[in-house]
A and B are shown apart, each in its own frame.
Chain A
Amino acid sequence: MDGDGPALSAPEAAPAAPPAARRRRWVPLALLALPAAFLAAFFLHPLARIVGLGLAPEGSLELGVLGRVLTDESVRSVAWFTLWQAVVSTLLTLAVALPGAYAVSRMDFPGRSLVRAAATVPFVLPTVVVGSAFLALLGPRSPINAALEAVLGSGAPTLDLRRTVTAILIAHVFFNYAVVLRTVGGLWSHLDPRLEDAARVLGASRWQAFREVSLPLLRPAIASSAAIVFLFTLTSFGVVLILGGPGRATIEVEIHRATTQLLDLPLASALALLQLAAVLAALAVYGRLQRRATRQRLVAAAHAARPPTSRGERAFLAANLAVVALLLLAPLLVLVERSFAGPDGYTLAAWQGLFDTRDTVLAVAPGEAVRNSLLFGASATVLALLVGGLAASAAALGDGRASRLVDRALMLPLGTSAVTLGFGFLIALDTPPLDLRGSPLLVPIAQALIATPFVVRTLLPVLRSIDARLREAAAVLGARPLRVWAEVDLPIVGRALLVAAGFAFAIAVGEFGATVFVARAELPTMPVAIFRLLGRPGVANFGEAMAMSTLLAAITATAIVMIDRIRVGQIGRF
């Protein structure tokens, strides 16, 4: 029997100091050691190298390169294109997704949750898959053109939007529709409908009631979703790389080109610094917007939605469902369809080709990339859970200031673009003691770095939400500290850990921007393999890229669907 009480259960502890208080001081610090080391070695160090190379390429401070880059005509046009396409993409996404957010959050119709889930799928798809899907949908052999030909005969004009801004913009709307739908729709579905009712009774028309009451209350959500979409499109890489053409490059694509084609590392560094400044500015605006929200009472979502009653409402709903079907589902269906398309009817050739060793594009059979992706993804998931889990635990234990600091520090990799990270790895991790040149380890490390913020964001709210009295109750009932953790914390956090693992895995498997810099030629991941296949001429390569994209979409979608099934409450949101 262990009836001696807590004082004797830790005989080493000096009896004078209250054990809980002294434990609280060093435990978070100890937990933070690994995340801090990880962040220092694989984020701050590469970033410092980029700054160094950008500001002092020869070892001494020299602003010439940066100045040359900033005044260079082609760089300025790239920066201008990056900016305007991001602004236009953001506005277009809002224009298309805000009515959708209203339909899904305020109208009650059969299949509502299914539509909401389906609309979320594009957001979790790897950018390379999005690029391939629109390549298939907007290319000359798309079903759109088949339909045109069927209607207009053989003289029909061929719609080919590949390598156009239009294709990039449409793909960005596709990709970011869910951001607005979830952020704005999430708030909208909890907005008290009686506020608009009150306005109506007081004499406001339907439109006035929206403009005077709902719109101001939604403004913070609209603004912050716009900021997120802007950030995503500002750092868009995979989509632009695949769908864009000459003169259609973002800063991200230029960093890639400067590194891999021009071999001009100082130029790439200067571009990365430019990108970093833009991202930090966008993040600052976002943080500011998040702090300004009207305090209001929210209601259960079930009370906010009503079935459409008038003919106008039904037409509005139908139009939005059509948008979801056309914009969001069509590209994915075409992607799958193209993977089976052959010169004469449907065939399994592309799928068989994936596991064919004759391939010359990749040093290995494309099927190998599947194995690589799964292995790298799993390693990255473990690493991200370890780093993110420790950091989140430390933040949850520490006081408010420490926890905010951890939160911010680990959000940095999220803000920094993936391409910048990948480029940083390339130039920083090549000297002892961290000489990982050509090491396959670089891939999961880079992916983990990108996935860690999501792990922290998923775990921290759950860890914080555990009522301290639960732990106290367990302790009073006789559980030792480790037992308390196992009996109270672990079961509650267990589900959140699974969700975090699913997120991390989906992100790692689909990661392209950083991976493309650090993956070795003979160990390509699926996104890298898709990109290389798309870069080659020939129907066979294109078909294999479609097949591989389909497979990758299926893998990430599976991970996300599993998350949605076990997700509890509101965790894992932005």
Chain B
Amino acid sequence: MLEVTGLTVAYGAHVAVDNVDLDAARGEVVCVLGPSGCGKSTLLRAIAGLEPPVAGRIALGGQDVTAARPDERHVGLMFQDHALFPHRSVGENVAFGPRMRGAAAADIERAVRDSLALVDLEGFADRPVAEISGGEQQRVALARAIAPRPRLLMLDEPLGSLDRALRDRLLTELPRLFAAVGTTVLYVTHDQEEALSLADRVAVMREGRFAQIGAPEAVWRAPADGFVARFLGHEPILAATVRGGVAATALADVPVEAADGEALLVVLPGAVSLAADAGDPAGPKVSGEVTARRFAGDHLALVVATDAGVELTVGVWRAPAPEPGERVDLAIDPAEVTVLPAGDRAS
């Protein structure tokens, strides 16, 4: 459906998108995940035709649109902060796309009704956009983007400005909505939780290039490099020397399946547990002192300063949990670590 090859977008000397390849199959949901300023919004704007590329090719449905005007591409783009037309009502905003495409009055009316129904805003058509809440504006922006039935729907940080409860609800509603619309989706976010839970495939972006593209679970369990691992929130990431199936690190010696040599050992969340709770009693053990406790509702997060000088965070799901100052023994599950080639620890 979408094929992007060698796309480069530059503002003067600053290269925002650097020789990027990306494709998406019909109906697929691809999430572009990256920190702010990594070029992910520029990528969307270029695909929409709002930024002229310096080099590369963009094709939609097998048809080269690199030189096409935005209004000729028939894509949907939901802007960050929505960009709703402030002088028009909810219904007029949603009707804009079908109207520009020359739809008949009855079809426009149906498109508005259907789109508003999809986002749960029946009866909002006559409300001025300035008088609805942020969450409602967000839904109107989505309805406006899908109303003309675009072949590609792009969303730029759509949940960025919402409070947590609303965001969580929409996170569960969006997959249903994407399925109902049946369109290909390109979703840009800096939030790994959004990306991992929505995407068929995740593309992690860094300084204008893709660091890794893959299925969410694969990216999560096997980050391509230290940057991806860190961006996903994995810690600690330790320098390791692998010899004969054992990675020697400052923390402990961990059995791994990797070739000999210098490497990085990524400790995934869930790898560390209290020794008493450990499922695999054969795994490596470390000791340390609890320095802080954070209550997170369903569990307690303990921060432990190990004797090896590495700080670990451990989740505890049963009471009573150790108090700060207490010494604890921890187990590391070798199945929950992953080894990366060394060399980019600093990045």
Contact A192 B83 (CB under 8 A): yes
Contact A197 B50 (CB under 8 A): yes
Contact A200 B71 (CB under 8 A): yes
In whole angstroms, what is the CA distance A73 to B87 when docked? 47
Taking each of A199, A202, A208, which has the highest tally of chain B beta carbons within 10 Å of its own beta carbon?
Answer: A202
Residues of B within 8 A of A296 (CB): 86-87, 130
- The verdict on A198 contacting chain B, using a C-beta distance below 8 Å, is yes
Residues of chain A at the chain B interface (Cβ within 8 Å): 192, 194-195, 197-206, 208, 212-213, 216-217, 294-297, 309
Contact A201 B130 (CB under 8 A): no
In whole angstroms, what is the CA distance A203 to B48 when docked? 11
Instruction: Count how many chain B residues have C-beta atoms less than 8 Å from C-beta atoms of the other chain.
Output: 26
Contact A297 B96 (CB under 8 A): no
Contact B101 A201 (CB under 8 A): no
Residues of chain B at the chain A interface (Cβ within 8 Å): 45, 48-50, 52, 69-71, 73-77, 79, 81, 83, 85-87, 96-97, 100-101, 130, 144, 148
Q: How distant is A568 from chain B, measured CB to nearest CB, in Å?
A: 28
Contact A201 B86 (CB under 8 A): no
In whole angstroms, what is the CA distance A217 to B52 when docked? 27
Q: How distant is B206 from chain A, measured CB to nearest CB, in Å?
A: 24
In whole angstroms, what is the CA distance A206 to B50 when docked? 12
User: What residue in chain B is nearest A205 (Cβ atoms)?
Assistant: B71
Q: How distant is B79 from chain A, measured CB to nearest CB, in Å?
A: 5
Contact B83 A295 (CB under 8 A): no
Residues of A within 8 A of B79 (CB): 194, 197-198
Contact A208 B100 (CB under 8 A): yes
In whole angstroms, what is the CA distance A295 to B75 when docked? 29
13 A-B pairs besides A197-B77, A201-B71, A202-B144 with CB distance below 8 A are A192-B83, A194-B79, A195-B83, A197-B45, A197-B79, A199-B100, A200-B69, A201-B76, A202-B96, A203-B148, A204-B100, A208-B71, A296-B87
Q: How distant is A117 from chain B, measured CB to nearest CB, in Å?
A: 25
Contact A309 B97 (CB under 8 A): no
Q: How distant is B338 from chain A, measured CB to nearest CB, in Å?
A: 40
Number of A-B contacts (CB under 8 A): 73
Q: Which of B45, B73, B85 contacts A195 (CB 8 A)?
A: B85
Taking each of B73, B96, B144, B148, which has the highest tally of chain A beta carbons within 10 Å of its own beta carbon?
Answer: B96
In whole angstroms, what is the CA distance A420 to B135 when docked? 56
Residues of B within 8 A of A213 (CB): 85
Q: How distant is B166 from chain A, measured CB to nearest CB, in Å?
A: 20
Residues of A within 8 A of B69 (CB): 200, 205-206
Residues of B within 8 A of A204 (CB): 71, 96, 100
Contact B70 A197 (CB under 8 A): yes
User: What residue in chain B is nearest A212 (Cβ atoms)?
Assistant: B96
User: What residue in chain A is nearest B12 (Cβ atoms)?
Assistant: A307
Q: Which of B86, B101, B148 contacts A295 (CB 8 A)?
A: B86
Q: How distant is A50 from chain B, measured CB to nearest CB, in Å?
A: 43
Residues of B within 8 A of A309 (CB): 52
Residues of A within 8 A of B77 (CB): 197-198, 201
Contact A203 B101 (CB under 8 A): yes
User: What residue in chain A is nearest B141 (Cβ atoms)?
Assistant: A198
In whole angstroms, what is the CA distance A491 to B85 when docked? 41
Contact B87 A217 (CB under 8 A): yes
Q: How distant is A56 from chain B, measured CB to nearest CB, in Å?
A: 50
Residues of B within 8 A of A208 (CB): 71, 100
Contact B97 A202 (CB under 8 A): yes
30 contacts between A and B (CB under 8 A): A195-B83, A197-B50, A197-B70, A198-B79, A198-B83, A199-B85, A199-B100, A200-B69, A200-B71, A201-B73, A201-B75, A201-B77, A202-B71, A202-B96, A202-B97, A202-B100, A202-B144, A203-B71, A203-B101, A205-B71, A208-B71, A212-B85, A212-B96, A216-B87, A217-B86, A295-B130, A296-B86, A296-B87, A297-B81, A297-B86
